[in-house]
Amino acid sequence: MRDFLTFQAMKENKFEFNYKVFESIDELPEDLRFLLNEARQVTENAYAPYSNFQVGAVGRLVNGEIVSGSNQENASFPVGLCAERVLLATASSLFPKIPIRTMAVSYKSENVKSDHPISPCGICRQTLQEYEERVEHPMQLILGGMTGPVYVIDSASRLLPLAFTSEELR
């Protein structure tokens, strides 16, 4: 068996993407600042008695409507729902086939400082990628804590390179 490090590949590829980093919410354009402030407030709606990690997500649809979601935990882990998926389900139910233009995600916790961006979990990344594919529209992400830097990513799909997509099932 060959050692992985000495294995000679025919070709090596690289995946990378660019994203914007703002030092604080104050540097964001007004429309993005509004969404992140709303996401920060929506963390109050989270039901997180087990993790004490409250997440809020707010999305602006292409028609201008605003939809929100917060994480909802359950004693029977892992049947809880992340804020991002709650938002997607709500938007899809209330406004079928209307793409989300931008989603802001924030968090707060009793256990850790909320002073930097967090990224959606793996299940959320898969769900966000498939949502973009389904509505045929990229979704800009704004990721930030209660304070500190903010990341702006032009498409949620960037977070899931080499994604398993519906194409593989056709």
Q: What residues contact 3, with CB distance under 8 A and at least 6 apart?
A: none
pLDDT in tens, 102-138: 999 999 999 999 999 999 999 999 999 999 999 999 9
Walk me through the domains of the chain, giving residue ranges and CATH numbers: 17-157 (3.40.140.10)
Q: Does residue 2 carry a pLDDT above 70?
A: no
**Residue 26: pLDDT above 80?**
yes
Distance CA(47)–CA(58), nearest Å, equals 16
CB 109 within 8 A of CB 126: no
Residue 3, pLDDT > 70, answer: no
Q: And the tokens for 123?
A: 């299940």
Q: Which of 43-57, 81-95, 105-119, 156-170 has the lowest mean pLDDT?
A: 156-170
Cα 125 from chain centre: 7
- Give 109: exposed, middle or buried? Use CB within 10 Å, 0-12, 13-18, 19+: middle
Would you state the pLDDT for residue 8?
A: 67
Contacts of 132 (CB under 8 A, 6+ apart): 138, 139, 155, 156, 157
Q: Is the full-model pTM beyond 0.85?
A: yes
Pick the catalytic residue from 73, 84, 130, 132. 84
Using one digit for the tens of pLDDT, what is the confidence trace for 51-81? 999 999 999 999 999 999 999 999 997 889 9
What is the model's pLDDT at position 11?
86
Q: Is 154 helix (H, G, I), strand (E, B) or coil?
A: coil
pLDDT band at 168 (very low <50, low <70, confident <90, very high): confident
Q: Give the pLDDT of residue 47.
A: 97
- Is 84 among the residues known to form the active site? yes
How many residues does the structure list for the chain? 170
